[in-house]
Chains A and B, each alone.
Chain A
């Protein structure tokens, strides 16, 4: 028995990822593994000694990067997220020919629905493009979630919920996005990006939102090379001693600031609005503004970036003043959100102008909703009977984790009612 027991590293081999710090592909894999809670070792291909330690040679052919060494020793040159996910056994097929409920998205709303549906006996499957937890899963610490007086990290909440859902029998399919939903008799068929088909008597869209792109020239070219969308938990350690800029005024931006302030030399939060109070919880405002190495700049936005092979500075403008260059090693963009409604158009789900799914009594007010039943849609039900929406993707939802969990839980009762009316429940 080891006496050196404070080290909690896995005893068995973990996958090793070798790549450059400016590689978008390497970042995508780091982000995927990190958000799925999969332990891995990162090796910077620019560090010859580190490369030699894992590969026996000091250099790797650039075309082979990012290179992933799986725990069984096999190698994936020029690896992609899909290949790594498959290589690690994270890609599963549905076990049943039909489910009572197909849930799209494994964020707070989707996981809450999965737990409630599976615990009540519904044959339940969840499809998730990236990782359980959604945007909340990248949150460093949720301090206002009921029952956790000392807070709980988003990733821990996601892991617990995932374990809970699986314990009740819900299936989770990861790493493949939904590409379409079509009607199939009284039910629906969901198709994933790899062609997997899932038949479900009811569907719940809990697909959440994705980060809104920062419309500044050059930003997207630097994705993974100093520019990141979201709180980037996989990048926190790499920010040690660096200058970090976070853009956004919501809770996600605030959480990112708290996380990076623990590692970075300086964190600057850029907020377009007049103050933080419009979109950030007060407890988080108090927290952010009390951190010594954090500077909050309101009425300020990014208007440009400077880079060589990676980000070196951001150009910011405050109010009507002239643009100013501000050195930066990393830029984390946490602005707003665009609804992830992929697949919704295939069955004609109506959305508002921003793309959020319209539900309940609001459906009747939407032109072209084409609701086929004599009674109104149930609350959270879209304009297609048996297709529901919950959480951030739903038009009119409160963009908070607890609210999404409430909607996901509530949706299951409504699914039950719809299935009962359709017969066979």
Chain B
């Protein structure tokens, strides 16, 4: 279980910069850029709309891996994936597997789901997606392992460019994530791996759902 509660960011100025929802104009600009980069983009007015959109994108019976994500938890997508019975939720399957005897099966299951559903740390107006990871395990499926990728993105994550996206990770996301990880797991987090998706060459593989609400961090 992850900890739903997000602690306040220690730097008010940084927090103000990266928690403000993007304007409709910037959202439209980022969405259009995503489309140019081979990433399908869908707009949702609310978290509830985004939840319904994600549900419409997932195929019943598919193997679905939901990345640990405050965004997915907040809008109920994590619950839909793990509890609805409509899909094969891989987190549940992995959780009960024998880490000594089934390590190989776990690796295969986790890296090649039919769908991976998650979020990003930044979306640029030029249509690039920026994602940081402590272990890196979620990055492989996003790039190529998963059959389909669905990313739900709160509009406060839209930034001007990749450099600002990197600053968002280091200055805003990391302190919050580190605090969350220490509280939830008792260990530190780390910006150990960073993935930047500038363009997707397989049409329809990656879908970004941009939500006009502040979701996750």
Q: Which A residues are within 8 Å of any B CB, using their own CB?
A: 1-14, 34, 37-39, 71, 140-141, 150, 152-153, 155-156, 159, 163, 167, 233, 236, 258-259, 262-263
- Cβ B100 vs Cβ A6 within 8 A: no
Bound CA span A4–B1, Å: 12
Bound CA span A71–B106, Å: 24
> Can you list 22 A-B pairs, Cβ within 8 angstroms, ordered by A?
A1-B71, A2-B2, A3-B173, A3-B189, A4-B187, A5-B68, A5-B133, A5-B135, A5-B138, A8-B91, A9-B91, A9-B95, A11-B78, A34-B96, A39-B95, A71-B83, A152-B105, A153-B102, A156-B105, A167-B61, A236-B98, A259-B100
Within 8 Å CB of B68, what residues of A? Answer: 1-2, 4-5, 7, 11
Bound CA span A140–B105, Å: 12
Asked if A13 meets B61 with Cβ closer than 8 Å, knowing A7-B185, A34-B96, A236-B98, the reply is no
| Nearest B residue to A262, CB-CB | B100
- Cβ B98 vs Cβ A3 within 8 A: no
- Cβ B72 vs Cβ A11 within 8 A: yes
- Cβ A2 vs Cβ B180 within 8 A: yes
| Interface members, chain B 11-47 (any A CB < 8 Å) | none
| Interface members, chain B 101-115 (any A CB < 8 Å) | 101-102, 104-106, 110
| Nearest A residue to B188, CB-CB | A4
| Nearest A residue to B216, CB-CB | A1
Bound CA span A264–B76, Å: 41
Bound CA span A14–B92, Å: 9
Within 8 Å CB of B69, what residues of A? Answer: 1-2, 11
- Cβ A141 vs Cβ B101 within 8 A: yes
Q: What secondary structure prevails in chain B residues at the interface with A? A: mixed
| Nearest B residue to A38, CB-CB | B96
Q: How many residues of B contact A (CB 8 A)?
A: 56
Bound CA span A38–B71, Å: 25
Tell me how far the C-beta of B204 lies from the nearest C-beta in chain A, rounded to whole angstroms: 22
Within 8 Å CB of B191, what residues of A? Answer: 3
Total A-B contacts with CB atoms under 8 angstroms apart: 123
| Nearest A residue to B194, CB-CB | A3
- The 8 A CB mask of B71-94 against A (1 = contact, 0 = none) is 111000011001100001111111
| Interface members, chain B 177-217 (any A CB < 8 Å) | 177, 180-181, 184-185, 187, 189-191, 216
Asked if B174 is at the interface of the complex by the 8 Å CB criterion, the answer is yes
Asked if B66 is at the interface of the complex by the 8 Å CB criterion, the answer is yes
- Cβ B82 vs Cβ A6 within 8 A: no
- Cβ A3 vs Cβ B91 within 8 A: no
- The 8 A CB mask of B167-178 against A (1 = contact, 0 = none) is 000000110010
Within 8 Å CB of B79, what residues of A? Answer: 12
Bound CA span A71–B135, Å: 28
Bound CA span A1–B137, Å: 13
Tell me how far the C-beta of A304 lies from the nearest C-beta in chain B, rounded to whole angstroms: 31
- Cβ A153 vs Cβ B180 within 8 A: no
Query: Nearest 5 A-B pairs (CB), nearest first?
Result: A6-B135, A2-B68, A262-B100, A1-B119, A8-B94
Bound CA span A236–B96, Å: 12
Asked if B164 is at the interface of the complex by the 8 Å CB criterion, the answer is no
- Cβ A1 vs Cβ B67 within 8 A: yes
Asked if B134 is at the interface of the complex by the 8 Å CB criterion, the answer is yes
Q: A2-B181, A4-B185 are in contact. List 19 more A-B contacts (CB 8 A).
A: A1-B68, A1-B71, A1-B216, A3-B181, A4-B184, A5-B68, A5-B135, A7-B68, A8-B106, A11-B66, A11-B78, A12-B79, A14-B1, A37-B92, A37-B93, A39-B92, A141-B101, A153-B101, A233-B98
Within 8 Å CB of A141, what residues of B? Answer: 101
- Cβ A3 vs Cβ B134 within 8 A: yes
Tell me how far the C-beta of B105 lies from the nearest C-beta in chain A, rounded to whole angstroms: 5
- Cβ B100 vs Cβ A153 within 8 A: no
